[in-house]
A and B are shown apart, each in its own frame.
Chain A
Amino acid sequence: DAGVIQSPRHEVTEMGQEVTLRCKPISGHDYLFWYRQTMMRGLELLIYFNNNVPIDDSGMPEDRFSAKMPNASFSTLKIQPSEPRDSAVYFCASSHGLRYEQYFGPGTRLTVT
């Protein structure tokens, strides 16, 4: 198995631009999670899906952030408009019914200038 796949691996954009991060979970996994990691705030859960349905988005910082999962093999996290404070590493993770064992993708390092 290829593991969780994320793209792009690095993204540099200017303030105000739209950013779309992509994730392909491990085949057969029914839970998908989006996290953000910064030095100041650590690893934060933004939103998670079960069987493509958003279950909890209480971690999404504000309306500029949105996430979708149109099918079992693809999810996106969109930031519009982006701001410098959104600079972070964004991880996607998936799991199969085991809440405690999540498989993380390599992350997308986002820099907003």
Chain B
Amino acid sequence: KAGVTQTPRYLIKTRGQQVTLSCSPISGHRSVSWYQQTPGQGLQFLFEYFSETQRNKGNFPGRFSGRQFSNSRSEMNVSTLELGDSALYLCASRPGVGNQPQHFGDGTRLSIL
């Protein structure tokens, strides 16, 4: 079974641009969560999608958004990029909601110049 796939692996953008990151969950998994990891703040929860609906959201500004498609693939978008958005963005999938282990992708490393 293929694992969680995130694309692209690396991305360089400049301030003010926008970016879209993609996550393909494990086949059969309907929940996708997104996380941001920075050296200063560590890992932080961004949002979770289940059956194409956002069911949970972390404490991030509205510049961070996401969506989920009918095949459970998910995208997250960051608009008007700031230097502080430089981070590793991880997504994780699980079959459903509730107490289930999460399966993480390798992440997308985003650098803002």
Please determine whether chains A and B interact with each other in the same assembly.
Answer: no
Residues of A within 8 A of B (CB): none
Residues of B within 8 A of A (CB): none
